[in-house]
Structure 1
Amino acid sequence: MLSWAAASTRRQLGNDNGKSMPAYHEIMTTDLSALTTASERWDGMAKELHKQESAYRRDVYGITLSPGWSGLSADAASGRFDTTLKQFQAAQIEAKALASLLREAHTDFTGLRKKLESAREDAVKAGMAVSEQGLVSYDTTKLSEGERTALHHDPDYQQTVGKAVASWQAEINRLVKAVSDTDTEVENALTRVVIDSDLSDGTLTGFNSQAHGNIKTYEDEARREAARTKPDGWKSEGKTETSGLGAGASAEGPDIASGKLGEAEAHADLGSASAEGSLTRGPWTLDGKADAYAGAKGSASGGITRNGAEGDASAFAGAAGSSEGSVNVGPLGVSAKAEATAGAEANANTGGDKEGVHVGGNAFAGAKGGGEFGADLGGVSAGFSSEGWAGPGAEASLDLGKNNEDVWEFSTKVGLSPALGGEVGFDFTVDPDKVVHTAGDLADAVGHGVSSFGQAVTSVF
C-alpha cells in the first residue's frame, strides 16, 4: 500500500481524493522503497515505448515514405502518422522524467527522515521522551527521588524543563514541516510533468515532449507563474479546460409544459481548449477569455409557447478560435473580441414575440477572421464589428426588441462574399435599470456633499 510519500503518484492515477499533511507517525513508518519500485517501472515503460516506436516507424509510418504511395492521401496520412510517431517519442521522455522525479523524491524523503530520526535520538539523550505521534515530553522515568521532588517543587527547575521540552518539540515540528513542504514540491512536479507544454505538436492533451526530472525546477516554475498571476494589489482568478477526441449525440422529443417541439444535437470533436481569467483592484476589473475548437457539430431545435415561436438549426465542420477581453472601471466599460474560423458552417433562425422579432441566416465555406469593439457607460452601450471572408458566403440579420434581461437592443449585420468579401455589424443597447442605478449613484455623490458635478462623476468611478 502506498502512503503519503506516493500520494502524488496516486493522484495522477486518480486514486486519491485529496492531500493531507503527512504526520510524524506516517513519516517514520512509511516504506519509501515504493518510490524506487515505481521509478524502475517507469524506466521499464520507457523501454517498452521505444520498442513500440520502432515497430510503428517500420510498419505504419514507413508506409508513407514508400514510392508506391503518393498523392494527397499519402500527404495527409504522413502528417497524421508523424504526429503519432512524435507522441511515442514524447511518451518516452515523459516516462523517463517521471522515473527521475520519483528517484529524487526517494532521496529527499530518505534524507529528511534520517534528520528526523537523529533529532529524536538527540532529544532522548537530552532526557526527553518522544511519542509515536511526535509529541515531546520530559522523561521522568529515569529521575531519582530527589530529582522528582525538585521537579514538583522547584519553579526554576520546572521552567528549565518546560523550555527544553518546547525547544525539542519545535525542532521535531520543523522537520515534519520540511517533509510536508517537500511532499508538496513532489506533487507539483508530478502534476506538471504530464502537461503537454507544446501545443504545436498536433495534440492538445498529448504527452509532454519537454518533460524533465528535476523537482526544484518545477518548483521555480510554479513560483514564477504565481508572481506573474498575482501582481501587487491585484486579485487574480482563472481556470483552463482541455479535451481530446470525442463524439456523441442526443435528442429530446416534445415537451408540452415548456412548448418545446424537440431538439437534437451531434458532435465529433478532434479537440478543444479554453481559458479565462480576471484581475480586480478597487473599481478596476480586467477580464479575458480564449478558446479553440476543431471538429464537426450540428443541432436543431424548435418551440411554440404563449409568448411566441422560435426555431434554430446550425452545422459546422472545421476549426475555430476566439479571444476577448474587457476593462471596467465604475460605470464605464470597454471590450474587444477577435475570432477566426476555417471550414464550413450554416445557420438559420427565426422567432417572434411581444417584445420584438428576429430573423437571420448565414452560410459560409472557407476562412474568415475579424473582431468587435464596444463601450458601455452607465447602461447605454454601442458596438461595431467587422469581418473579412475568403470563400463564398452570405449573411443577414436584424434584431429589435427587449431581451431576457429587460435590456432594449437594436442590432443588424449584413455580409456578402462571392470569393473575397466580408461583413459589418452595429448594435446599440439601453439597460433602463443600469441607467437608473448610475443616476442614483451620481445623485448620492452630490447629496453627500461633493462640491461639483465633476467631482461627483469622479466619485461614481
Structure 2
Amino acid sequence: MTTDLGLLTAAAAKWDAMAGELQKVETRYGETIQKITLGNDWSGVSAGVARTKFTATRYEYSAAQNQAKAIASLLRGAHEQLTDLRRKLESARDDAVAAGMTVSAEGRVAFDFARLTPAERSAYQHDPDGQATVRTAVEKWQKHLDDRVKAVSDADTHVKDALESAVVDRNRDALGQGSGADESLTGFNSYAEGDLAKAEKYVPPVLRDREDPVTVTGPDAGFTVSGIKYGKEGSVKLYADLFHATAKGEGELAGLKLSAVEDVYGGIRGTANFGASEKGVSGKAEASAGLRMLEEVRVERGSHAAYGRVEGFAGGEVSGTAKLNREEVTIGAKSFAGVKGTVAGGVESGGLGVGVVAEPWAGAGWEGSFGWRKDEKTGAWKVGGKAGAAELFGGAVGLEITVDPGKLKKTAGDVAHEIGSWFD
C-alpha cells in the first residue's frame, strides 16, 4: 500500500534510454568495425570468419535493444496493472469500513463495535442471531479483501516471471534458423515479449521426462533356467542385484532434439543363452560382479545426429559370444578385472553414421569382438568391432558404422527432388 509505484515508470524510461544508446553503438559498430568485412579489400577464409563474427556482434547489439525496449514496456505495464489493483484494494477497504467494519494495517477485518451505542452493544450481546449475522458479514468482507490482496500478489509474481523470461535468449536465429546471425546461445533476447498480458513464465527447455523417466530397483536376487523350445533360445540366469537405477529424458532446444540416459548398477550377474533353429545358431555366456555406470546424450536435427557416451566399470567380468543368423553375425570374448572407463562418440547424417570408442584400463585382461547386426527398433544395420589388452595397450579401442536403409532412401529422395528443382 505504501510502495512508490512511480519508480516503475522511472525505471522504464531508463531502459528506453538504454535502448537508444545501444542503437548508437550498433550504428557506430556497423559503420566502422563491421564495414571492414563488407568491402573488397579483404578476402579469404579469415575474412569469411570475421564477417560471421562481426555480424554476430552487431546482432547482439540489436537484440540488446529489443530486450531493453521489452523490459521498459513490461515495467510500464506493471505500473498500470499494479496501480489499478491497488486502487481496487483501497476501494474494497473503504467499502468494508462503510459497512461497519474495521480494517487493520495487516488487512484483518473486524466488526466496529465503537460505532454502537451502549443499548446496541447490550442488545448485540443478548442476540445470538445478530452475532451470527455479524460473523457472516466479517467473513464476507475478509474474503473480499483477501481476494484483492491475492490479485496484487499474483500480478506481482507475473511481472517477476515476465521480466525473468524477457532476458533469456530464445535462439530463434541460431544454428541456421531465422536470420542465422545469432552465434551465442546465451546472448540477448531479440524476441523478448514486451506485452505483459502475453508474457509467460520461462520454462527452461531442459530434458523433458518421458513415461517412467526414473526407475529404481533392488536389492533383488533370483535364478531361472529354461530349455530350448518352439524355436526359442534356452537360458540360464543367476543374479544378485544390490541396486539398479535408470533415468531417461528428452526435450528440444533451439530446434535440436535432445535425449539422455543415465544408468547405474551394482551387483553380481551370470547369464547364458544357447539355441539353434531355422533362423540360425547362437551361444552367449557372461558373468560379472561390480559397479557400472553409463551416461549418454544424443542430439538430433532432421537427418543429422551426434551422440556421446561415458561409461565406468569397477569389478570383474568374463564373456564369450557367437551368433549367426540372417540379421546378426557376431563373435567375441573378453576377460577383465580392475577399473576401466569408456568414452564414445559419433555422428550420423542421411542414414550413415560412424562412431569411435576408447577405453583406458587399470587392471588385467583382454577383449576382442567383431560383427554386424540389425537393430530391431530402428531397422538400421550396425557394423563394428573392438579390441584391447591391458598389458599391451593399457586399454581398448573400437569402431562402429551404422547404415539406416530407411533414412538413406529418404535422403536419396530429397536429393533427387532438389536436383529436379534445379532443372525446373
TM-score bracket relative to the smaller structure: 0.5 to 0.7
Which residues in structure 2 correspond to 1:62-141 (within 5 Å)?
A: 62-141=35-114
Partner letter of residue 34 of structure 2?
A: Y
| Pair 1:359–1:132, CA change in 2 (3 A) | farther
Contact kept, 8 Å, 1:97 with 1:213, in 2: the verdict is yes
Corresponding residue for residue 419 of structure 1: none
Structure 1: distance between partners of 2:257 and 2:5? 38
Contiguous gaps of at least 5 residues in structure 2? 215-247, 263-295, 301-309, 317-335, 390-395, 405-424
Contact kept, 8 Å, 2:164 with 2:202, in 1: the verdict is no
| Pair 1:307–1:397, CA change in 2 (3 A) | closer
Structure 2: distance between partners of 1:188 and 1:372? 49
Contact kept, 8 Å, 2:260 with 2:298, in 1: the verdict is yes
User: How far off is 1:359 after superposition?
Assistant: 6.6
Structure 1: distance between partners of 2:347 and 2:111? 67
| Pair 1:358–1:56, CA change in 2 (3 A) | farther
Corresponding residue for residue 259 of structure 1: none
Secondary structure of the 2:366 match is strand
Contact kept, 8 Å, 1:94 with 1:193, in 2: the verdict is yes
- State yes or no: 1:183 paired with 2:156: yes
Corresponding residue for residue 359 of structure 2: 349
| Pair 1:156–1:38, CA change in 2 (3 A) | same
Structure 2: distance between partners of 1:310 and 1:63? 52
- State yes or no: 1:59 paired with 2:32: yes
Deviations 1:279-332 (A, max 9, x none): xxxxxxxxx97548xxxxxx9x9x999943658899x9xxx879xxxxxxxxxx
Partner letter of residue 34 of structure 1?
A: L
For normalisation by structure 1, the TM-score amounts to: 0.51
Corresponding residue for residue 205 of structure 1: 186
Contact kept, 8 Å, 2:358 with 2:398, in 1: the verdict is no
Contiguous gaps of at least 5 residues in structure 1? 1-27, 243-271, 279-287, 293-298, 323-337, 361-370, 376-381, 388-394, 401-410, 416-421, 426-461
Cα RMSD for the two superposed structures? 5.0
Structure 1: distance between partners of 2:191 and 2:114? 58
| Pair 1:348–1:123, CA change in 2 (3 A) | closer
Structure 2: distance between partners of 1:62 and 1:372? 55
Corresponding residue for residue 397 of structure 1: 386
User: How far off is 1:274 after superposition?
Assistant: 5.8
- State yes or no: 1:30 paired with 2:7: no
Partner letter of residue 29 of structure 1?
A: T
Identity %: 38
Deviations 1:185-233 (A, max 9, x none): 22232222222221332221121122231122124x879x9xxx899x9
Q: How many aligned residue pairs are there? A: 288
Structure 1: distance between partners of 2:25 and 2:339? 58
Deviations 1:237-285 (A, max 9, x none): 969799xxxxxxxxxxxxxxxxxxxxxxxxxxxxx9966699xxxxxxx
User: How far off is 1:424 after superposition?
Assistant: 7.0
Structure 2: distance between partners of 1:384 and 1:40? 59
The structure with the largest alpha-carbon Rg is 2
Contact kept, 8 Å, 1:36 with 1:106, in 2: the verdict is yes
| Pair 1:277–1:189, CA change in 2 (3 A) | farther
Structure 2: distance between partners of 1:412 and 1:75? 37
Contact kept, 8 Å, 2:356 with 2:399, in 1: the verdict is no
Contact kept, 8 Å, 1:350 with 1:358, in 2: the verdict is no
Secondary structure of the 2:141 match is helix
- State yes or no: 1:308 paired with 2:281: no
More moved, 67-76 vs 95-104: 67-76
Corresponding residue for residue 169 of structure 1: 142
User: How far off is 1:235 after superposition?
Assistant: 9.6
Structure 1: distance between partners of 2:298 and 2:209? 20
| Pair 1:29–1:51, CA change in 2 (3 A) | same
Partner letter of residue 87 of structure 1?
A: E
Partner letter of residue 175 of structure 1?
A: R
For normalisation by structure 2, the TM-score amounts to: 0.55
